[in-house]
């Protein structure tokens, strides 16, 4: 687990962008796992500006609200098309998003897992983190071995996401999400977190025990995790000085350069 602390969200995103861009240049047919919400917006905008070749790239999104049609302005289908897909040369057939309108959710979830497997697995999984430590929509007490499935949002997540809908009352109660076991099979996990509200969750994820009450803590068990933070999100880390030392003294071949 590499903890990358930068002065602000823009600088942290620049490092994350370099990591994704390097993969797409080295492996043009890479498989990306993608997240939504406010955190990865800067990353997607930066990737669009780089004008990389997405023709062979495959993508799988982490989650989607149950009951929201793809055209709904708060659906994650809409989010991804507005903020990334329509701005790059990705093939529509290579884009995969959970179907929140599925009439048979268990069947769909099993098929989604099979599609990821058929694609060769996810090379790089982009992640955000909730204030309660959830990744994807794997809420606290989610099984650490869970797969793609339906989940009920906690009250906290429901209220946190109310800002996107104008009111928490308008937020769906259920979602489809890739599981923690699914996420852990990605070859590289890239987590971004910005702002003081994320500081407690980040501290528990990086320096706390591995426990289902803080789902993101399972990332401690992953062989290749990069966590890009601004100062505010890193403010409760007890070993921040060491993480700075590691980053500042990386050998040349480990440097993050475009």
| Residue 113 is among the residues annotated as catalytic for this protein | no
CA dist list (Å): 166 to 68, 101, 128: 15, 22, 21
Catalytic residue among 77, 123, 134, 160: 134
Q: How far apart are CA 143 and CA 152, in angstroms?
A: 14
Say if residue 154 is exposed, middle or buried (CB neighbours under 10 Å; 0-12, 13-18, 19+).
middle
Nearest 5°: CA angle at 38, between 55 and 26? Answer: 30
Q: Give dist(CA 257, CA 168) in Å, integer.
A: 41
Cβ proximity of 61 and 76 under 8 Å:
yes
Q: Which of 64, 113, 123, 132 is catalytic?
A: 132
Helix (H) or strand (E) run with residue 17 in it: helix 9-26
Options 64, 123, 139, 230, the catalytic residue: 139
Q: Which residue has the tokens 């204030």?
A: 131
Active site residue 132: yes
CB 99, CB 61: distance < 8 Å: no
Q: Which residue has the tokens 């966590």?
A: 227
Residue 244 designated active-site:
no
Alpha-carbon 20 to chain mean position: 13
Active site (annotated) includes residue 63: yes
- H/E stretch holding 173 reads none
Query: Of the listed 63, 64, 160, 230, which one is catalytic?
Result: 63
Alpha-carbon Rg of the chain, whole angstroms?
Answer: 17
Active site residues: 63, 132, 134, 139
């Amino acid at each position: 687990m590499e903890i990358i602390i930068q002065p602000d969200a823009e600088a942290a995103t620049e490092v994350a962008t370099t990591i994704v861009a390097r993969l797409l240049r080295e492996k043009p047919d890479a498989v990306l796992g993608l997240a939504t919400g406010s955190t990865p917006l800067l990353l997607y905008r930066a990737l669009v500006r780089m004008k990389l070749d997405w023709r062979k790239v495959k993508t799988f999104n982490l989650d989607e609200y149950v009951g929201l049609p793809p055209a709904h302005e708060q659906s994650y289908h809409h989010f991804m098309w507005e903020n990334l897909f329509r701005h790059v040369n990705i093939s529509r057939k290579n884009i995969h998003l959970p179907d929140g309108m599925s009439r048979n959710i268990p069947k769909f979830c099993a098929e989604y897992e099979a599609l990821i497997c058929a694609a060769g697995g996810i090379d790089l999984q982009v992640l955000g983190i909730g204030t309660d430590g959830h990744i994807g929509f794997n809420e606290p007490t989610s099984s650490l071995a869970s797969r793609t499935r339906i989940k009920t949002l906690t009250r906290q997540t429901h209220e946190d996401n109310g800002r996107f809908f104008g009111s928490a009352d308008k937020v769906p109660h259920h979602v489809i999400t890739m599981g923690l076991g699914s996420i852990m099979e990605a070859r590289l996990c890239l987590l971004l977190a910005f702002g003081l509200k994320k500081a407690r969750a980040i501290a528990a994820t990086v320096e706390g025990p591995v426990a289902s009450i803080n789902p993101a803590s399972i990332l401690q068990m992953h062989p290749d995790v990069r966590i890009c933070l601004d100062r505010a999100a890193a403010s409760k880390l007890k070993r921040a000085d060491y993480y700075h030392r590691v980053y500042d003294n990386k050998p040349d071949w480990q440097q993050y350069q475009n």
